[in-house]
Structure 1
Amino acid sequence: MVLLESEQFLTELTRLFQKCRLSGSVFITLKKYDGRTKPIPRKGSVEGFEPSDNKCLLRATDGKKKISTVVSWIPNTPAYSNLLRANMDGLKKRDKKSKSKKSKAAQ
């Protein structure tokens, strides 16, 4: 996995979306990031460690290529939301009829 700067991540994410537009998927995960590079031991505590506030680890993969970046609080960065909104056009619409039939059958 490649840890990139924010601007490089945006360009690589755009390339992933363009590559997978016709066939394939891009998986994006978002996770709170506290700045640790090593896991916490099960017993005992880590002394002298102060977690960084409001950071997120953002990862994207198409199954072959993996990219990631650390950003400070996603809602404050419109570049990510605009990019995601522009490229989420292949989502399937929910079928409301089948949902109502399932709930009636259960009763």
Structure 2
Amino acid sequence: MKKYDGRTKPKPTTSKQKHLQPPNEYKCLMRATLGNRKLSTIINAKDVNKFQLAYSNVLKANLEGLRKRDKKTKMAKAT
């Protein structure tokens, strides 16, 4: 997650345009990748807590199917 001000182009570096006003309310940009697939969404600042709760519930629901890693094979490969 990072702060997003609504621009899709980078800030101008010339001294004439350095006095741009910041937006009234920032938004949050959330990015995720899975293999070659990339997802991104923009969340309003007032909805960040609600989004994080929903996101954590999705993660908790899908963690049951994961296997624990075997640390012995990882250590054997390293040595």
User: Which structure is larger by alpha-carbon Rg, 1 or 2?
Assistant: 2
TM-score range, shorter chain: 0.5 to 0.7
Q: Return the TM-score normalized by structure 2.
A: 0.56
Stretches of structure 1 that go unaligned for 5 or more consecutive residues are 1-29, 93-107
List runs of 5+ in structure 2 lacking aligned partners.
Answer: 69-79
Letter of the 1:86 partner, please give it: A
Q: Which has the bigger relative contact order, CA under 8 A and spacing at least 6?
A: 1
4+ residue stretches of structure 1 with deviation over 4 A? 88-92
Identity of aligned residues (%): 47
Amino acid at match of 1:38: K
Residues paired across the two proteins, number: 63
Is 2:52 the counterpart of 1:80?
Answer: no
TM-score normalized by the length of structure 1? 0.44
**Cα gap change, 1:61/1:79 in structure 2, threshold over 3 Å: closer, same or farther?**
same
